[in-house]
Amino acid sequence: MKKIVIQRPKEIQLVEGDIPETRSGEVLIQVMASGICGTDIHIFNGEYLGAYPVIPGHEFSGVVMSTGEAVTRFKAGDRVAVEPNIACDNCTHCLNNRQNFCLNWQAIGVTLPGGMEQYVTVPEKAVFSIGGLPFEQGAFMEPLSCVIHGVERTRMKLADQVLILGAGPIGNLLLQMCRLQGAAQVIVLESNPGRAELARQMGADLVLNRMEDLQAEAYDVVIDATGVIPVMSRAIDFVRRGGAVLLFGVPPAGKLMEVEAFKIFQKGLTMLSSFTSVRNSFQAVELLKSGKIDVEALISHRVPLKDMAQAIGMIERHDPQVMKVIMLPNG
């Protein structure tokens, strides 16, 4: 079978290998769709979490080919998606329902082999049925589960005014989720014309392309979806007193963000971040099945496995036509 391996930062290879054996408690999946995430780019650049060499890909779906002993929920032919974060369920964080902070955390596509290969084995507890959902949509289960967790953390109330900084794939998922949570208005800041237009189609009440056009202290919730530190540092300027700021985008590790501490104190702000998710995968699948979250419009490119290096290049160049890139390992 074919698989993508990041041997070390900036070095990516397409290699041949054997189909992995299915051990007890594991499910062998033929990967049909695997999304490139910003985390994959960070791993490629040596900025974030990667244990090299690594087979990337943590947003994927496919077909069950076989199951190991002790697997009870799945059989060959089932259509599934994968929750990549593997918790031990025994440490103090797991026992307190904070599995995303598991002291023995492992992640498919980060520390374990991921979905940028034709076949992968994963623990049964990481697998979720997607029924008749198209595979490319099923690959959005993981990012949508993270978005659900992040929006829940803000404790957004009915009729809140929300500002989202950035309208990439995650920004547009956040936009739709905020609408479902009952936000009165969702304003989006996005300078890329194509992404701005997509945000309008996704239901944004207003899309602005310059930070200078934003009104100070006008929003109950401000969400950064860029991971760009100069943008993140401005979020507190736009949130109302008593409001919440969610830093959702993943910034480069080791970089500092400068903010005015007194302003956070004076405004009584709730400052939040959101790392992965906490058992939100079932919710994500149900929302995708319902059609209340539109992910099809977010897919801009479908790419064979052999062209992953070129796909990463497109994303890193900030090509205005690029949104979500879906790899097709068996396409």
Q: Would you list the domain boundaries of the chain?
A: 2-140+295-328, 154-273
Say what percent of the chain tops pLDDT 70: 99
CA atoms within 13 A on the CB side of 321: 4
Classified as helix, coil or strand, 58 is coil
Mean pLDDT to the nearest integer, 144-155: 97
Which carries the bigger pLDDT value, residue 188 or residue 318? 188
Residue 320 predicted with pLDDT over 90: no
- Would you place residue 34 in the very low, low, confident or very high pLDDT band (cuts 50, 70, 90)? very high
Q: How far apart are CA 258 and CA 248, in angstroms?
A: 17
Give kind and range of the element (H or E) at residue 195: helix 193-201
Residue 50 predicted with pLDDT over 70: no
Quick one: which of 241, 234, 276, 238 has its CA closest to 257? 234
CB 209 within 8 A of CB 200: no
Q: How far apart are CA 138 and CA 136, in angstroms?
A: 5
Classified as helix, coil or strand, 33 is strand
Mean pLDDT to the nearest integer, 271-296: 95
pLDDT for 261: 96
Classified as helix, coil or strand, 308 is helix
pLDDT for 71: 97
76-107, pLDDT tens digit by residue? 999 999 999 999 999 999 999 999 999 999 99
CATH architecture of 154-273: 3-Layer(aba) Sandwich (3.40)
208-263, pLDDT tens digit by residue? 999 999 999 999 999 999 999 999 999 999 999 999 999 999 888 888 999 999 99
Residue 162 predicted with pLDDT over 70: yes
CATH architecture of 2-140+295-328: Alpha-Beta Complex (3.90)
pLDDT for 115: 98
Structure tokens at 283: 């919710």
The number of beta carbons lying within 10 Å of the beta carbon of residue 104 is: 12
Structure-derived torsion over alpha carbons of residues 141, 308, 251, 255, reported in degrees to the nearest 10: 150
Quick one: which of 89, 106, 91, 99 has its CA closest to 51? 106
Q: How far apart are CA 150 and CA 245, in angstroms?
A: 11
CB 7 within 8 A of CB 43: no
Residue 310 predicted with pLDDT over 70: yes
Mean pLDDT to the nearest integer, 120-133: 97
pLDDT for 32: 98
Residue 48 predicted with pLDDT over 80: no
Residue 135 predicted with pLDDT over 80: yes
pTM for this prediction: 0.95
Radius of gyration for the alpha carbons in the chain, expressed in angstroms and rounded? 20
Mean pLDDT to the nearest integer, 314-329: 92
Return the minimum-mean-pLDDT range out of 38-47, 48-57, 215-224. Answer: 48-57
Residue 319 predicted with pLDDT over 90: no
Residue 134 predicted with pLDDT over 90: yes
Quick one: which of 188, 224, 229, 230 has its CA closest to 209? 188
The number of beta carbons lying within 10 Å of the beta carbon of residue 73 is: 14
Question: Rounded mean pLDDT of the chain?
Answer: 95
Burial class (CB in 10 A: 0-12, 13-18, 19+), 16: exposed
Place of tokens 């998922």: 173
Q: How far apart are CA 330 and CA 119, in angstroms?
A: 9
Q: How far apart are CA 132 and CA 289, in angstroms?
A: 8
